[in-house]
Structure 1
C-alpha cells in the first residue's frame, strides 16, 4: 500500500487525461459496437446515478462505512474501461463491487450474506449460487490488476476545514461533502487527484451556499463525521434543479463578454416582451450574484489560496464545469426507464443466469 497518493497505483495507473479517457472508451465502443447498438444505454452519468442508487439500496441492508460506497463506485468506473456495460450483469457486478470494497475498506461482510441480500433485493437478476459472486469478484480484481487501494477527497476536505485562512463553516463543509459524493457519478475519480476534487467541492459550496439555504438543500454534517469521515452518510445534493440554474448563471456570466444589448431591436410586445423581461430579470440576478461573489471576503481568501497552492487552474475550471453538467443531466434521470432498459438487455443477452 502506498504511503500517499503521489506514489499510489491510483495516480500511476488509474488517472487519465480526458482525451486519453475518451480514446479508451472509443476503442471499447468499437469492439462492442453490436451489443451497444442493440441495447443503447443512456448517458454514462445517468447510469452511474442508477448504479449508485443500487449500491445504497444494498448498503441499507448491511452495516457499512461511507467509503465502501465511494470505493465501489471507483471500482465500477475502472471496470467499465475494459468491459462495456451491456456485457455484464450490472446487478451482480454492483453487489460484487460492494463486497470487494467492504473488504478493502476494512468493513468486511461474509460473501453468503452479501449474496443473500443482493438476491433478496434483485431476485430476478442475481443468481442464488454464491459462487457466481466469487467468480465476479475474481474478474473484477483481475480487470483492476489487483490495484484496489483508492484515495478519496474526504480527508482533503477535512484538511481544508482546518485551514484557518479559509474559514469554512460546517454548512459549507456539509454542502461540499455532498458535492464530493456526487462527483463519483462523473469522470472526476479517473481524471482528478482527490485533493483537487475536494477544492472544487469547497469552491462550489462557498459560492452557492446562499442558494442551497434558500432551496432547503443543506444537510448538516455532524462532529462525529468530522472526527471519523467513514461514519457519515453517503448523502447526495438535493434540490439539484435550483442549484444547477445557479451554477449555469454564474459560469455563464464569467464566460460572457460584453455584447450590445437588445435595445436596438423594435419594441417587443406580447410573448416577445415577456421573454425580454425574463431575460432582463435573469441578467440582473446574475449581475447581483457576480457582485456578491466579488465582494465576498471568504471567496477572495479562496482565490488567494488557489493561486498560492499552485494547482492547475485550467484543470479545475474544466472539472468544475463537469460537476455543473452533472446536475443538468441529473434532471433527465428516470430510474424506471433505466431499470427497464437494463432488464431488457440482461434478458436478451442471457446475462441474468
Structure 2
C-alpha cells in the first residue's frame, strides 16, 4: 500500500482526462434517446450508493470508496451492457472489505433488494442470489486491476483546516481518527509550499467544506483530479459561503467608551497597575494562504466551476417522483416530449431507470442478428452478460 499519493496506483492509473471519460460513454451515447440524460446518471448512481451505504451503516469513507470503484468500473464498461444496480451492490460489498469494515454478503443482498425494489426506482426486480454479487465482485476486482487503495480529499481538508477541540460535528463519525493514507501536513513543502499553519474554520464552515467534498462524488471529479485539489477547491467555495470574519479594532481591556465617545478608566484599574497589553491575534488572510500552497490555482478554479455546474444540474434532479411530469419514465405518453423526456419537470429516479432499461433493450436489438439496419457489430462481454442475467 503506497503511503505517497504520487507513486500510488490511484495517481498513476486512475487519473484520466476528459477524452477518456467521453470515450467511456461512446456506446451509451449511441443507444441513449437523449445524450443529455446521461449527465444525470452520476448524480443518480451516487445517490443510490449513498442511500445503500446509510442502510448498511457505512462510514462516509466507505461510501466514497464505493463510489470511486463504481466510477472506475464504468471507465471500461457501458451502462447499457451491464446492470448498474448489481454493480452498485458489488461496489459496496468490496469497498467495505477494502476499508476493513466488512459486511456479510447476505446483508448486502437483502438491503439492496429492499432499496432497488422501491417504486421510485421503477420497482425493478433484484435477485436474491448471493452468487450474483459474489460473481460480480470478481469481475469488479478484475476491471479495477486489484487497485483497491483510494485516496480521498477528507484527509487534506482536516490537515489544512484547524478543528476546534470542542467540535465533534465537523466530520463524519470516526473519520478524524481513521483517515487512512493520504496527503497530510507532514508531507512537507513538496505539496504545501510556504503555507503557514492551518486555516481556522468555524464548525459550520468546516461542515460546509466536508459536505462539498461529499457532493463532489456526484460528478466525475474523482477521476479527473487528485483528491487534495478537490479539498482545496472545497475550501475555496467555503470561503464564498462562509466569509472569514474580520475583527474590529483591537480590544482595550481596561478602558470603556463613554456615551460621548471619550475613553475613561475603570475603577478597578484605578487601584491596580496596568498589565502589559496582550498582542492582538493577527487575522488570517485566506487568499494569501491558498496562494502560498504549492498547487495549481487554475486547476482549483476549474474544479470549483465543475462543482458549481454539478449543483446547477442537481437542481433539475429530484428524488421525489411527484416532482416529475405525469407520464415521464414511460416510452411514450402524456407529459413526455418527443424523445421520451420530461417536458418542463424534474428528472426523477424512475425516469432514469426507464432510460437505462430502454438503452439496454436498444443495445440487445442492435446486437441481434435479425435486427434490421444494424449499423455495426457490438462486442458483447460474456462475463458481464452472465452477471446481469438476474436483472
User: Same fold judged by TM-score > 0.5?
Assistant: yes
Counterparts of 1:180 and 1:306 in 2: how far apart (Å)?
17
Structure 1 contact 36–86 (Cα < 8 Å) conserved: no
Deviations 1:6-36 (A, max 9, x none): 22110111112xxx332x2443444x26x73
Structure 2 contact 47–218 (Cα < 8 Å) conserved: no
2:87 equivalent in structure 1: 93
Identify the match of residue 356 of structure 2 among 334, 342, 353.
342
Counterparts of 1:159 and 1:167 in 2: how far apart (Å)?
11
- TM-score scaled by structure 1? 0.68
Counterparts of 1:149 and 1:207 in 2: how far apart (Å)?
32
Counterparts of 2:102 and 2:30 in 1: how far apart (Å)?
35
Identify the match of residue 181 of structure 1 among 214, 223, 229.
214
2:18 equivalent in structure 1: 21
Counterparts of 2:157 and 2:24 in 1: how far apart (Å)?
34
Paired residues for 1:230-241 under 5 Å: none
Paired residues for 1:298-313 under 5 Å: 301-313=285-297
Q: Does the C-alpha gap of structure 1 residues 318 and 110 become closer, same or farther in structure 2, counting only changes over 3 Å?
A: same
Counterparts of 1:161 and 1:118 in 2: how far apart (Å)?
37
Q: 5+ residue gaps in structure 1?
A: 211-296
Counterparts of 1:60 and 1:168 in 2: how far apart (Å)?
27
RMSD: 2.4
Structure 1 contact 92–133 (Cα < 8 Å) conserved: yes
Counterparts of 1:301 and 1:36 in 2: how far apart (Å)?
50
Counterparts of 1:45 and 1:176 in 2: how far apart (Å)?
24
1:324 equivalent in structure 2: 308
1:158 equivalent in structure 2: 158
Paired residues for 1:33-44 under 5 Å: 36-37=30-31, 40=34, 42-44=36-38
1:208 equivalent in structure 2: 241
Q: Does the C-alpha gap of structure 1 residues 93 and 305 become closer, same or farther in structure 2, counting only changes over 3 Å?
A: same
User: What displacement does 1:164 show?
Assistant: 4.8
Structure 1 contact 71–101 (Cα < 8 Å) conserved: yes
Secondary structure of the residue aligned to 2:75 is: coil
Counterparts of 2:292 and 2:239 in 1: how far apart (Å)?
19
Q: Does the C-alpha gap of structure 1 residues 25 and 202 become closer, same or farther in structure 2, counting only changes over 3 Å?
A: closer
Query: Which of 100-109 and 56-65 deviates more?
Result: 56-65
Paired residues for 1:187-202 under 5 Å: 187-202=220-235
Secondary structure of the residue aligned to 2:200 is: coil
Aligned residues between the structures: 260
- TM-score scaled by structure 2? 0.61
Identify the match of residue 110 of structure 1 among 93, 104, 112.
104
Counterparts of 2:81 and 2:34 in 1: how far apart (Å)?
12
User: What displacement does 1:332 show?
Assistant: 1.7
Structure 2 contact 42–220 (Cα < 8 Å) conserved: no
Tell me, yes or no, if structure 1 residue 58 matches structure 2 residue 52.
yes
Counterparts of 2:46 and 2:24 in 1: how far apart (Å)?
23
User: What displacement does 1:327 show?
Assistant: 0.9
Counterparts of 1:193 and 1:344 in 2: how far apart (Å)?
35
> Which protein has the bigger helix share?
1
Counterparts of 1:308 and 1:65 in 2: how far apart (Å)?
33
Counterparts of 1:112 and 1:183 in 2: how far apart (Å)?
30
Counterparts of 2:225 and 2:151 in 1: how far apart (Å)?
11
User: What displacement does 1:205 show?
Assistant: 0.8
Q: Does the C-alpha gap of structure 1 residues 26 and 157 become closer, same or farther in structure 2, counting only changes over 3 Å?
A: closer
Q: 5+ residue gaps in structure 2?
A: 118-123, 163-195, 244-281, 318-346, 365-384
Question: Is the radius of gyration larger for structure 1 or structure 2?
Answer: 2
User: What displacement does 1:326 show?
Assistant: 0.6
1:250 equivalent in structure 2: none
Tell me, yes or no, if structure 1 residue 73 matches structure 2 residue 67.
yes
